[in-house]
Amino acid sequence: MSFANFGLSTEILKALKKEQHFSPTPIQTKSIPLILQGKDIIAAAQTGTGKTAGFVLPMLELLTRGVKAKSNQARSLILAPTRELAIQLGENASQYGRFLSLRTIVVYGGVKINPQMMSLRKGADILIATPGRLIDLYNKNAVKFPQLEILILDEADRMLDLGFTKDICKILSLLPNHRQNLMFSATFSADIRNLAAQLLENPIEISVSPENATATSIKEWIVPVDKKLKPDLLVKLISLYGWTQVLIFTKTKKGADTLACFLDTKGLKAAAIHGDKNQASRIKALSNFKSGITAILIATDVAARGLDIEKLQQVVNFDLPTIAENYIHRIGRTGRAGLSGQAVSLVSADEFIELHEIEVLIKRVLPRKIIDGFEPNHNIPDSGLIIKPKKLSSSKKILGPKKNKGLDLQPRIPQFFSNRP
């Protein structure tokens, strides 16, 4: 199958050819036709599956058929949990829409608001925003939503994890009742299903792989090691395997900064990104990493959401995540677009519970490798994992209340949000 089979415009097909995208991925094959039909959907898709194009391409196609955005208005709204993801989505929308006369604006916090207000005066066919900054702009009368046709929540699971419930509730109360809603999430948690049931109208559920599965193109293994030896072991692994571009995850912001300083003393150029870094330094660190100026990027889970690094082959979990699902998000930064990748986790005895929860989640035991000179004094027990895999259907309807088709002018605020602080 090719993208031409979807009935996309010549301009979009031309942009896809320029980006050397010739065949749709499974998530794109399932989502694009449904979105073009005007359906509400909820899709489970891991990082690296092509999910962004799965909603951006049909969104662009639908927007070409409507009326241009008026001053301070938005025709489509994409909500993203982090600044990095918002920026990446803006780049994707611009790439795929380069031959269309659609206006894309990206707004997020951490930078001056006045330039964003000025940009919105001309209207936005596509508005990509983090929740907090969007509310700030609305409160300053810089953006309105009477023209809104499409609402997209990207990485909805992370949006809830980061405590954006109240902000999303406020935003939903500002939007018109009649719109198309699309929700993309890495996992189908109970909260996500509850949100979908309250927010979407007769949504179609799409899942292109078993829940909580990691990509088969990623080689995963763990290295048992005593906690105090982790920094030296990391240096050893980088040298031993000749890693030239490494994305490293730490549990805390302080840990990221400390590790970056340690690696610098060893002659390894490293940079850290996390929530305490200003936007300019985060953008610079990411740009230097992508271009090869910096070989090592150290990130926390929050800062890494939305990172899109082409051909990244190596991810290291310096600390295991406290939330097992974040393991899948982390290692999904490698092994993308059909390429192979490797994910190595440095695990100390005090992380056994986290390791066990990850292995339960992914339904398999991760292979272990002991590195000479770093044999642990404190052994990590085997998890003794025994799990029967569960069969999942690839596409099905989920039940939820229908939107009011009458003249109800009250904004739809889901019960899901009203019961949360």
**CA 338, chain centre distance (Å):** 18
218-362 shares the fold of 3-210+394-418: yes
Whole-angstrom Cα distance, residue 48 to residue 310?
10
pLDDT at 209: 57
What pLDDT score does 339 carry?
A: 67
Architecture of domain 3-210+394-418: 3-Layer(aba) Sandwich (3.40)
What pLDDT score does 189 carry? 77
Residue 50, pLDDT score = 83
Distance CA 130, CA 83 (A): 7
**pLDDT in the model for residue 306:** 60
Residue type for position 392: L
> For each of the chain's 421 residues, which pLDDT tens digit applies?
889 999 999 999 999 999 888 899 899 999 999 999 999 999 987 766 788 999 999 999 999 998 999 999 999 999 998 888 899 899 999 999 999 999 999 999 989 999 999 999 999 999 999 999 999 999 999 999 999 999 999 988 888 877 888 898 899 999 999 999 999 987 777 888 887 877 888 899 998 754 445 555 789 999 999 999 999 999 999 999 999 999 999 999 999 999 999 999 999 999 999 878 887 888 888 889 988 899 999 999 876 666 667 778 899 999 999 988 888 888 887 766 556 789 999 999 999 999 999 999 888 999 999 999 999 999 898 876 654 444 444 444 444 444 433 333 333 333 433 333 3
Residue 337 has a pLDDT of 54
Which pLDDT score, from 0 to 100, does residue 215 have?
53
What pLDDT sits at residue 200? 87
Residue 383 has a CB neighbour count (10 Å cut-off) of 16
Fold of 218-362: Rossmann fold (3.40.50)
Q: Can you give the pLDDT at residue 336?
A: 60
What is the helix, strand, coil percentage profile of the chain, to 5? 40, 15, 45
The edge-to-edge listing of strands for the beta sheet with 74-79 is 104-107, 124-129, 74-79, 150-153, 180-185, 41-44, 204-207, 395-397
Q: Which residues of 246-390 form beta strands (DSSP E)?
A: 246-249, 270-273, 296-299, 314-317, 341-347
Other CB atoms within 10 A of residue 318 CB:
19
Q: Is 296:256 a contact under the CB 8 Å cutoff?
A: no
The CA distance from 347 to 219, in Å, is 16
Strand partners, 129: 79, 107
According to the model, what pLDDT value does residue 143 have?
97
pLDDT of residue 49: 76
User: Please, are residues 36 and 61 in contact by the beta-carbon 8 Å criterion?
Assistant: yes
pLDDT recorded at residue 247: 94
Q: Where are the domains of the chain?
A: 3-210+394-418, 218-362
